[in-house]
Amino acid sequence: MMLNLQEILQKFKLNKLNIALIFLVILIGLLAFVYLRNSAVYINYNEYKQLLDTDSIQKARIENDKIYLTYNGKEYVVLKEAVDLKELYEKTKITKSDETPYYTKFIIMAFIVLALIFAIEFFIIRNLANKKKTQSIETSKSAPNLANQPIKPVLSNVKFSDVAGIEEIKSELVQIVDFLKNPEKYKSFGINLPKGVLMAGAPGVGKTLIAKAVAGEAGVPFYYQSGASFSEIYVGVGAKKVRELFANAKSNAPSIIFIDEIDSVGKSRGDGRNDEREATLNQLLTEMDGFEENSGVIVIAATNKIEMIDDALLRPGRFDRRVFISLPNYKDRIEIIKIYLKNKNHDVDISKLSRLSVGFSGAGLATFVNEATINAISRGSKVVQTIDFESVKNKVLFGKRKTLVLDEDEKEIQALYQGAKALSAYWFEVGFDKINLLEDGFINDDREIESKTVLKNKLKVYLSGLAALKIYKDDMFNNAKFDIQKSLNLANSMIYEYGMGESFMPKNDDVLRLLDENYAEVSEFLKSMQNSLFAVAKHIFVYESVHFEMVRQIIQEQYTKDENED
């Protein structure tokens, strides 16, 4: 006799709670299957190379674009394209994966899970309350373990020769390298080197790379940790990580511990109290105090916010040697650019490129070269040229901006505005490479000391576009807003910071007087150079840019033309 649906539900007690439970268990089973299938741990090339060189790989198998390695009963994954298969075949037995297709496993596992669910349904329902409590406890216990990844050292292959632009600070680091290489020499003289070195500098100046170079020169294990990696929601986890880190480093001494962004964990205590961060910081202080003299472990930390570091970390006996790394200067940039262009086919004047890249960090220069190379490929060239760097400079510095579309009238106004700036910059010797219809290409130099005359000339350039439109269009336009802001900032700095007003003590009217005087001077200049100004503006209108040399040529041609007319 056929049972109706209601009788079936009643027989198996499949009420709404049971049905929801079944689907929940199915989901858990499927997620477990996906997790088990992908349980192998990914490793980077350095870790793979270390396993290969020490003959630690027990077996290997290739599956699609990945290579699965077995070591100490655990499975690790490395990308196939990053591995020299020939070298791997010579040292390890490799098998091709004939694994059952994923979808077949999925179907089989789904049927198995369903069968198990119906078999243990009554037991699950009976123990549901206890199971929820158990799951809650297991979740709270497992969360810290997931974050507690093993701390492993690496051997750095970076040398000082690979890091350009650090000549001034290299001498500070050579002593540390020598101490790590020859500790007995220092012990015999009773010399104690600093336990910690704090490197401070703007983002991207190469603090991590320098630390790797120290480790590479000394040939010692290098422990890298981010300050943020010590921060956990569970009190005590960060402190435990610090203990493990220092214990590992001491067991492999001589070694280097590098803590990046130490301000994340070493921030001044007081405002915004955080129990976990304070516990971690206290553990860090304790570990550094517990160092034996000449233990062979050096702590190098990096920050771009040294003013936020807790005073306890900076006192003698901890980070008592500090290295300040500034943005690369003209000569530094030349050496850094040479390194990044070494393996690229290029036709550029590196000294000119260095002038174009004032304000770039080492990382910024790497991006600069890379973006220029991409630009060369995009335009179908096999050689990277100066034009590629000019095209991507503003994108690297400020990010990609939306391109403005101007109609003919707007383009004429903008060409006159930019033409006045180009003409004034040439005449008043404010260096530029190229001025575009919508962007400036002024060259900022590395001079630390500027005269009042030079700064006033810059003011004239900023104000020249506004003056030209007032003179020849008898109106004012909103395209001058950025240059007006630059003018105000520079004038305020000249009066209130540099003391360049009429009296030593700044007055409220000094800024306005300075702006008015230079606006009047550049206006008179533009009135006297009408023909040259219109010629430069016409060139920008047609070609949407003008180079420094083109402005020179236009002025000379106009001067010759005026003489012939006379």
Whether residue 436 lies inside any domain: the answer is yes
Answer yes or no: do 439 and 479 share one domain.
yes
Domain CATH number, residue 484:
1.20.58.760
Q: Which domain holds residue 30?
A: 12-123
Q: Which of 33-42, 222-231, 381-390, 501-510 has the highest mean pLDDT?
A: 381-390
Asked if pLDDT for residue 523 goes beyond 80, the answer is: yes
| 163 and 281 inside one domain | yes
- Are residues 251 and 318 located together in one domain of the fold? yes
Residues 198 and 299 reside in one and the same domain? yes
Looking at the structure, do residues 166 and 250 belong to the same domain, yes or no? Answer: yes
Is the residue at 557 inside a domain? Answer: yes
Instruction: Note the pLDDT tens digit of each residue in 528-566.
Output: 999 999 999 999 998 888 988 999 999 998 888 877 776
Give domain status of residue 128, yes or no: no
- What does the pLDDT look like over 61-116, one tens digit per residue? 887 778 888 877 778 888 777 777 777 777 776 665 544 444 455 566 666 666 66
Shared-domain flag, residues 371 and 292: no
The verdict on residue 146 lying in a domain is: no
- Indicate if 217 and 304 belong to the same structural domain: yes
Number of domains in the chain: 4
Q: Are residues 258 and 335 in the same domain?
A: no
* 144 within a domain of the structure (yes/no): no
- 81 with 177, same domain? no
My answer on whether 421 and 549 are in the same domain is yes
Query: Is there a domain that residue 139 lies in?
Result: no
- Candidate ranges 205-219, 415-429, 443-457; pick with highest mean pLDDT: 415-429
Shared domain check, 559 and 418: yes
Residue 4 within any structural domain of the chain: no
Instruction: Assess if residue 135 is contained within a domain.
Output: no
Is the pLDDT assigned to residue 307 strictly greater than 50?
yes
Query: Among 354, 379, 398, where does a domain finish?
Result: 398
Which of 325, 342, 365 is the last residue before a domain boundary? 325
Which of 377, 398, 419 is the endpoint of a domain?
Answer: 398
CATH of the domain at 343: 1.10.8.60
Establish how many alpha carbons lie within 13 A of residue 424's alpha carbon, considering only the half-sphere containing its beta carbon.
Answer: 31
Residues 168 and 68 in one domain: no
Q: Which of 102-111, 225-234, 427-436 has the highest mean pLDDT?
A: 427-436
Cβ contacts of 173-180, under 8 Å, gap ≥ 24:
173/197, 173/210, 173/213, 173/214, 173/323, 176/214, 176/218, 176/298, 177/214, 177/217, 177/218, 179/294, 179/298, 180/218, 180/220, 180/254, 180/256, 180/296, 180/298
